[in-house]
Structure 1
Amino acid sequence: MPVEDAMTTNVETTKPSIPVTEVAKVMAEKEIGSVVVVENGEAVGIICERDVLDKVVAADAKPGELTAEDIMEASLITTEPDTNILDSVRLMVRNGIGHLPVVDNETLIGILTVQDVLKAMPEFLETLPSREEMERGLGEATGEGVCEVCGEVGESLVEYNGRWICEECLDFLTG
């Protein structure tokens, strides 16, 4: 399945000079977890809830004195609309991100989130543990094999909810 079949097309954007308080208000009002920072029509960064927590709240900074540019993640990782969704999930897992802007010829056309992936591929939900499994812990680790979530060959797979998965997918699924 290509990314364009699962992505959210109505992407909330902001300019680098907008105060963090305004960005946070938009995120709260729209009930979204990220805003893409755009300058001259090009995506130049992203602000996620985690950025607000880490760079404003935890840093005891004054949000009214900060701009989007001050807290955005400028090393923007993107994907393209025709990329296979599993390849994009692997990219998200490898980089520890939950929001992946989708660009076509350097133009922002959407965003792929963990929620989008779960809606489009509900079989991912089958890999999530029940409360009992979480309390029991994970199964034994094994040697090299193929992850049953991402399909990558891993050196050490873990039994998780009856499936053998790699450490990256385990981190992705358990947060």
Structure 2
Amino acid sequence: MTTLREIMTPEVITVTPLDSVAKAESLMRHYHFGGLPVVENGTLIGIITSRDIRGSNVNRLVIDVMTKNPVTAHPDVSLWLAKELMEKNLIERLPVIENNIIVGMVTKNTLYTTLAKYTDTLTDLPKAEYLFQEAIDFLRQDQEIAIMFLDLDDFGCINKEVGHEIGNYCLCKVAALLKAVVPEKACLCRYAGDEFVLILPGNNVEAQVLAYRLSEAIASIKLPGAKLSASIGIAGGRRSSIRINDLRDMVSDLVNLASLASTRAKRENKQVVVANGWQVVEN
């Protein structure tokens, strides 16, 4: 899991509440920063940004113009949670706090640049790293989850028979359909090649209903010279038979079970197969 600790700037330039706005402005200009944390007796009490300074008398004190009670995050917070925090609070900079001490800063630009590495450029869907983080977050909240592994059938033949451009077009059409159909609470990613994975809070029965709906919707996609279908495997629940304290291993295990179920669905020409515990059973 990629966290703020890996991308934050650890050398933090700060000001005190009794410093002048002129000093804060000078520091921001010198270091090319858009904002500075305001620290008093080692504790973060605010943040002053170029927006706060704009139109203010430079002889005023920082405490008079700073933004109080700034939004902060722990260094072990995931990049995706940090993104949610910044977008929800409409902020450009996120102070990183550990043991009540500011240990770094993350800007929106740095965060978005890093997140772009985890986004599939063809479909604009997140890659697998995002899936693991979201699944772990669900499990930490003691939610039951279902993982759906969707594998397009004979996709290699489509590439060979009508070309990779049409193949890429197919992948984009499937991605767009999935984005439109899956519930808002679900997490969707392009796992690899012609494989997509969804995480749904809830049980396998609920996931199964959605799986059949997705299978029918994919089969109805009209494409030049190609016919699409998908084999879908599902695995999930609260797994207590494996290392429950290692949530990433737990998610990896569930993804593997869902993948095996998808393989069985493809082999037996079924739309959906559900994995039950350590066994893969027909449905």
Q: Which amino acid aligns with 1:118?
A: Y
Per-residue deviation at 1:125?
11
Which one has a bigger Cα radius of gyration? 2
Match of 1:62 among 39, 42, 57: 57
- 1:122-133 equivalent positions in 2, closer than 5 A: 122-123=116-117
- 2:105 corresponds in structure 1 to 111
Per-residue deviation at 1:147?
8.1
Which ranges of structure 2 fall in alignment gaps of 5 or more residues? 125-179, 190-197, 201-283
Which ranges of structure 1 fall in alignment gaps of 5 or more residues? 128-141, 154-175
* Aligned: 1:83 with 2:77: yes
- 1:96 corresponds in structure 2 to 90
Q: Which amino acid aligns with 1:8?
A: T
Per-residue deviation at 1:17?
0.5
Report the number of matched residues.
133
Q: Which amino acid aligns with 2:57?
A: K
Rounded Cα–Cα distance in structure 1 between residues aligned with 2:77 and 2:41: 25
Match of 2:115 among 121, 126, 133: 121
Rounded Cα–Cα distance in structure 2 between residues aligned with 1:67 and 1:147: 46
Rounded Cα–Cα distance in structure 2 between residues aligned with 1:52 and 1:83: 30
Rounded Cα–Cα distance in structure 2 between residues aligned with 1:148 and 1:48: 36
What is the percentage of aligned positions where both structures have the same residue? 26
Structure 1 SS opposite 2:67: coil
Q: Which amino acid aligns with 2:5?
A: E
* Aligned: 1:49 with 2:50: yes
Greater relative contact order (CA < 8 Å, ≥ 6 in sequence): 1
Rounded Cα–Cα distance in structure 1 between residues aligned with 2:28 and 2:108: 17
Per-residue deviation at 1:122?
2.6
1:74–1:125 CA distance, 2 compared to 1 (3 A): farther
Rounded Cα–Cα distance in structure 2 between residues aligned with 1:37 and 1:6: 21
Task: Kindly indicate whether the alpha-carbon contact (under 8 Å) linking 1:8 and 1:116 is maintained by their aligned counterparts in 2.
Answer: no
Rounded Cα–Cα distance in structure 2 between residues aligned with 1:105 and 1:23: 26
1:148–1:8 CA distance, 2 compared to 1 (3 A): farther
Q: Deviations over 1:106-129 (max 9, x none)?
A: 1100011112213322346967xx
- 1:4 corresponds in structure 2 to 5
Rounded Cα–Cα distance in structure 2 between residues aligned with 1:18 and 1:125: 46
Rounded Cα–Cα distance in structure 2 between residues aligned with 1:125 and 1:17: 47
Q: Which amino acid aligns with 1:100?
A: L
Per-residue deviation at 1:12?
1.2
| TM-score where L is the length of structure 2 | 0.42
Q: Which amino acid aligns with 2:20?
A: P
1:94–1:21 CA distance, 2 compared to 1 (3 A): same
